[in-house]
Structure 1
Amino acid sequence: MIIGIPKEIKTLENRVAMTPGAVETLVRQGHTVLTETGAGLGSGLGDEEYAAAGARLVTAAEAWGAQMVIKVKEPLESEFGYLRDDLILFTYLHLAAAESLTHALLKAGTTGIAYETVTLPDGSLPLLMPMSEVAGRMATQVGAHYLEKNQGGRGMLLGGVPGVAPASVAVIGGGVVGTNAARIAVGMGAHVTILDLSHKRLQYLDDIFQGRLTTMASTEPNIRAAVQASDLVIGAVLVPGAKAPKLVTREMLPTMKEGSVIVDVAVDQGGCVETIRATTHDDPVYVVDGVVHYGVANMPGAVPRTSTFALVNQTLPYALRIARDGMDALRKDPGLALGLNTCKGRLTCPAVGQALGIDSVTPAQAL
């Protein structure tokens, strides 16, 4: 198969979809890899490394002309013209929060396979997990930064110092993002409360953190109380493929402390905070009711070296199977098939259909 690796064009997105080592593996298995010139520079990976691995260095148009294009982030409007009906696109799509992209994929007839809905038999999301780990850890780091007075925050050190109380952190959602955010916050010495719907998950978190944080059921009264008491609120809610529910409402903001900070990692899926909107690394925050909002939609792009290698560790085995078997790879693996979001002009992710009001079929029906 001919595989294209375009350079990411989202603002300050420095990740790249394949490392030179991954390219070498693909080439050794008989595939042709077209890597856009400069695609890996943001991650510290030079063109000469890709050439040495067997890639052909090409323009963006040539990379997009491949049979399968592997990316990190969803296509932007300027890339919609590259979409076509004989293209397999393998990347993060987050279509529930991207109506124009959804319609563009459907109009073009592109086969869109979304990293974030590929599923293992145990229900876990292997291609979302590495970036969730990065984003969760970054959320606490970023929140601590914006609590500084000169960044608009309350002027608090997250962990306090002897004789001075630490900051209070509320993490809404106890999945991969929330667990990693809590791990860093606890490690920095903050007072941490984590909320989740699953009692079993809360039991697990209570066990692994050995009483170093507070667990609470994710009910509206508990969320309201936690938000009011916290200096930093981290949104870590995920409903696979669907828009995130708005758990922190507009009415809750006036109850928060002046200069407190919200970091909503769920912004890719529309956000779990009613007042959040997507921002970029070069303009990451804004203030509503005295509360600093951080809504960068590609947080791991700020640490591209770590993020690229973590992502490729997980995506390469799937890319190899698709390159070898084409659409048969999805027919053989129901979990990979759940990654299919668009196919032959049809929406194949019911959660996206429900979010956008578009008729959909299941991946099995499309295949």
Structure 2
Amino acid sequence: MGDFIVNTSVVGGQSQPCADALNSNALFTALWADDSDAGIKGQRVDTAGAKVGTEFLASEATPPGDNTNRQWPFLDSVGMNTFAAWIEQPFNLPPPTPVVVLRRFFDGQPSGPQVQVSTDSIDPQFPPTVTRMVDGGCLVTWTGAGEQKRIRAQRFTPEGQKTGPEIAVNTTAAFHRNAAVTLLSNGDYVVAWTNGDPVGGGGLVYRVFQIDGTPRTGEMRPNVSGFTGRSALTALDNGRFVAAHIKSTVQSDLGVLQTTAVASVIDPAGNGSVILSASAGSPKHFHRTSPALTALPGGHFVLAWVEKSADTFQTVPTVMAQLCSDTELEIGPRVQASSGTNGNRFHLSAAAVFSNGNPGNVFLSWADMADGGDTTIRGSVLTAGPGGLSS
């Protein structure tokens, strides 16, 4: 199965995709930002890579002359509920100031109006993220504008209404970034971010919370740098979680930084150390970016990334994926998911559908830029088997 165009709208740039899976009906959903009307668009896709229904508007309709731009959608589903969050900010002054909003969907259809999530100023450079909760609701994380209230979270009911107070996640004041959240198998959740300390910063930090927002840990600091947030955090069904990050070495002879994508497995009940790590391979000769994760049953997960050569300017960025587990590390060969022969690929996202007796299907979506600068959303569905991934 080759890759395919996800979006139908072709006017204006399409970017910042996020993928999610509905295990209840074996469908994937992709959301993205549409520059033509500043809206958030969506499309459902089945496990064969065929579109289900038509492209839809996830955000509320934009009135003519509206000053609102919508960026960085993220979604997660529980049962028939899907919760989607994104940033709304003005194109031009005067304000309103940027905010994070949430909208609930039921069986793929909008269910009620969107709700403002944030109460104070936010930093619109960094996307919000969403995770489902065991009660059928969700939790949203985002990045505040100040040092003290930097990493924030808010829980919502299954009906999409706020419940409980806004949560101050970080305890150390700094301009932290790249917040992400995922639900753990025991009903707790973990919020991770990149340390913004001006001296000694750049490393991964995380905290574990109970469903009501009571912290189980302080700020835990594994020896991990290069965490990218958004699509780079997932939880396994055995209680552990995985954080993806970019490991850098030295520049190539061409002057290109040599990097690789790494997935580090962590026990949230442990001391914060990394148990083991899977990777996209040696960074030598490669420049790898945009890591994305999605979990599969039995402690398995998929690590995806974009790679190009660090040794020549005549290189094509390619979407790649690797099946991994927290016991076997890399399983089978790395698989190419994109087919483009020019341009660029970025904003990679991953989601998985699985059931009893089904090894799982993985949907990768990314922004695909042509040489002329136009961007579309492309996707690819891979199959996970005992011997690895196949297209």
Give TM-score scaled by structure 1 length: 0.25
Which is richer in helix? 1
By relative contact order (CA 8 Å, sep 6+), the higher-ranking structure is 1
